[in-house]
A and B are shown apart, each in its own frame.
Chain A
Amino acid sequence: MNGSATIHVTSLLIASLLVAVTLFFSYWQKLKLEKETIISVIRAVVQLVAVGYILDFVFGYKNPAFTTLLLLFMTFNASYNAAKRGKTIKHGLTISFFSISAGTLVTLFILILSGIIKYEPNQMIPIGGMIISNAMVALGLCYKQITADFRHKRDEIETKLALGADPLRSSKEIIRDAIKTGMLPTIDSAKTLGIVSLPGMMTGLILAGTSPMEAIKYQIMVTFMLLSTTAIASFLSCYLAYRSFFNDRKQLINQK
């Protein structure tokens, strides 16, 4: 590395020899992964080149409405993917969209208010992307947990319903567990920051020539924003999703 932020295409071509190492191991050990490796490398290059051109275009188009539209598009895609993890949850897409939007909105608002970032596409799109994708993963985990718990803890819920508790009180422990499940990976990764790995954003900044002390400030910001978005999105989605498991007579619905 020469300390500059620019990588020449020739350097990349030389670096591509590293792919040959993977191919060699696959061939030598008869892993039969050669075809898949080549396809994945080609896909990665094509997708990243396309994203590079798109971002170049987007960053040059400084209209805030366009940035907002892009953020909404990203949120919709994330919601769609998260909702797939909880197919039994009624209005899963709407709940996910609302939860991720609320988490993202609050976090971005605080970041903008504190003056750390500005509402400009080259800042909003990458940061929004990090927040939204983290919330998507958290929601997927929440839905998986809440669906499994409602299937396996029927006795507990019916016992509480039979005692005269309403669906919310009967599900409180399940809701809490699901929120925790959604939040724990983000909390765990925050705990090990810097001692297990140097996180992506910090590594990128250091590689681009930023001083480590400056890079950690950004990483601290990223840690805070991921924690807040995950908490808000997990909380909202679980408190909205639990209703799907009951009918309007406050009875537990039979899950298929």
Chain B
Amino acid sequence: MSLLEFNHVFFKNGDKTILRDLSVSIDAGDFVSIVGPSGSGKSTFLKLCCHLISPTGGTLTFHGQAIETIEATTLRKKIAYCFQTPYLFGERVLDNIAFPYVIRNTSVDHARVEALFSSFQMTTEYLQKDIKNLSGGEKQRIALIRSLLFTPEILLLDEVTSALDVTNTAIVEQVIASLHDKGMTVLWITHNPEQSRRHANKVLTIDNGEIRTLEAIR
């Protein structure tokens, strides 16, 4: 059984069709790079995966179960979505790191936090920093840590390295590759052709709201 399955999925926003007749299966452990021109519907595809929006036609299943029948917050805790432009809320980094624990009514696992900061080549001294004083790269790494605290089944990445420098990109790529090696399913939108093939086992090309190709490369 596929982990995520799109079956003739459509998404319309008003009169405009963003995605049309999408059918694709994502298996557990896949690393799928999603490529295609800007405005082709890639971000909409990821938002459908974590049910931030619902298909206007067709069916979408997670572990064989129709996504509409799964409690939305439970689903989103299993499928993490990282935005292209990271949004950090509150005043300090700690507000962001504590949030996933607060919504689960549990106390912060300091060892877990420290391990994740370390994997992104940061220290927990960042926790007390004002979010206004962080660089774009630091913000994106913290947003990723925030999404990974409870080890999601699927990690959705929406051009997370597009605004990062070479060093930050390398750090993020390394962490994502290592999470994939440990079994996490990754769907990554990227505009960088090299990056799209470096770690992925499948490359999905979306153009004008339709799947052009699904290429297995490993």
Interface residues of A (CB under 8 A from B): 155-156, 158-166, 169, 173, 249-252, 254
Contact = CB atoms under 8 A, between A and B. Distances in A.
A249 B13 CA distance: 17
Contact of A166 (B73, B80, B143): B73
A168 to B, nearest CB: 10
A249 B99 contact: no
B52 A161 contact: yes
Contacts of A155: 83, 85, 87
Contact of A163 (B13, B85, B146): B146
Name which of A156, A164, A165, A169 has the most chain B CB atoms within 10 A of its CB: A164
18 contacts: A158-B83, A159-B89, A161-B52, A162-B83, A163-B76, A163-B100, A163-B103, A163-B146, A164-B73, A164-B74, A164-B77, A165-B103, A173-B89, A251-B52, A251-B53, A251-B54, A251-B72, A254-B13
Nearest to B74: A164
B76 A249 contact: no
B76 A161 contact: yes
Contact of B89 (A160, A162, A164, A249): A160
A173 B102 CA distance: 14
Contacts of B114: none
Given A164-B77, A250-B73, 8 more contacts: A160-B99, A162-B76, A162-B83, A163-B76, A163-B99, A163-B146, A164-B76, A169-B102
Interface in B44-72: 50-54, 68, 72
B11 interface: no
A34 to B, nearest CB: 50
Contacts of B87: 155-156, 159
A164 B100 contact: yes
Contacts of B76: 161-164
Interface residues of B, number: 26
The 6 A-B pairs with the shortest beta carbon distances in the complex, nearest first, are A164-B77, A250-B72, A162-B81, A159-B87, A164-B76, A155-B87
A162 to B, nearest CB: 4
Nearest to B13: A254
A156 B100 CA distance: 14
B33 interface: no
Contacts of A162: 50, 52, 76, 80-81, 83, 147
A158 B147 CA distance: 13
B73 A158 contact: no
A166 B72 CA distance: 8
Contact of A158 (B52, B74, B99, B146): B52
Contacts of B13: 254
Contacts of A164: 73-74, 76-77, 100, 103-104
A163 B96 CA distance: 10
A254 B54 CA distance: 12
Contacts of B143: 159
Name which of B72, B100, B102 has the most chain A CB atoms within 10 A of its CB: B72
Interface string B75-112: 01100110101010100000000011011100000000
Contacts of B99: 160, 163, 165
A14 B191 CA distance: 80
Name which of A161, A252, A254 has the most chain B CB atoms within 10 A of its CB: A161
A251 B51 contact: yes
A159 B83 contact: yes
Nearest to B51: A249
Contacts of A249: 51, 54, 68, 72
A164 B152 CA distance: 11
Contacts of A173: 89
B67 to A, nearest CB: 9
Contacts of B100: 163-164
